[in-house]
Chains A and B, each alone.
Chain A
Amino acid sequence: MNGDVTVVGLLASLLLIGVAVGISRWQRLGLEGSILVAVGRATGQLLLVGLGLGLVLADDAPLVWSWLWVLGIVVFAAVTIQRRAPAIPGLFRVALTGEVLTAVLSFAVIFGLSIFPLEARTLVPVAGMILGNALSAAVLAARRLVEEFTDKRDELEARLALGCSVPDASRPYLRVVLRTAMTPQIESTKAVGLVFLPGAMTGLVLAGVDPLDAVMVQLALMLLILGGVATVSTVVTLGAGRRLFTPDERLVPLLREAEGGS
Chain B
Amino acid sequence: MPSGEPLFTFDDVSLITDGQTRLDDVDLAIPDRAITVIVGASGSGKSSLLRLCNRLEAPTRGVVRFRGEDLAALDVHAHRRRVGMLFQRPIPFAGTVRQNLRVAAADLTDDEGAALLERVTLDGSFLERPADRLSGGEAQRMCLARSLATDPDVLLADEATSSLDPEATRRLEELAAKLRDDGIAVLWVTQEPEQIDRIADHAVRVTAGKVGLA
Contact = CB atoms under 8 A, between A and B. Distances in A.
A159 B85 CA distance: 10
A163 B56 CA distance: 11
B81 interface: yes
A68 B182 CA distance: 69
A163 B80 contact: yes
Contact of B56 (A157, A164, A165, A253): A157
A211 B211 CA distance: 78
B89 interface: yes
Interface string B77-118: 111110011010101011000000001100000000000000
Nearest to B18: A253
A92 B88 CA distance: 36
A250 B56 contact: yes
B54 interface: yes
Contacts of A172: 93-94
B81 A155 contact: no
Given A154-B87, A253-B17, A163 B55 contact: no
Contacts of B54: 161
Given A158-B91, A159-B103, A164-B103, A248 B80 contact: no
Interface in A33-72: none
Q: Which of B18, B77, B149 counts the most A-chain CB atoms under 10 A from its CB?
A: B77
Contact of B81 (A158, A163, A246, A249): A163
B78 A163 contact: yes
Contacts of A162: 80-81, 84, 103-104, 146-147, 149-150
A249 B74 CA distance: 13
Interface in B1-29: 17-18
A205 interface: no
B93 A248 contact: no
Interface residues of A, number: 18
A73 interface: no
A160 interface: yes
Nearest to B95: A172
B194 to A, nearest CB: 27
Interface string B49-77: 00000111110000000000000100011
Nearest to A164: B103
Contacts of B18: 253
B17 A161 contact: no
B103 A154 contact: no
A253 B20 CA distance: 13
A96 to B, nearest CB: 29
Nearest to B81: A163
A165 B91 contact: no
A250 B103 contact: no
A98 B146 CA distance: 38
Interface of A: 154-155, 157-165, 172, 246, 248-251, 253
Given A157-B87, A158-B93, A249-B77, 5 more contacts: A158-B85, A159-B103, A163-B81, A163-B104, A249-B76
17 contacts: A154-B87, A155-B93, A157-B56, A157-B87, A159-B103, A160-B80, A161-B54, A161-B80, A162-B81, A162-B149, A163-B79, A163-B104, A246-B58, A248-B58, A250-B58, A253-B17, A253-B18
Q: Which 7 A-B pairs have the closest CB atoms?
A: A163-B81, A161-B85, A163-B80, A158-B91, A162-B104, A163-B77, A154-B91
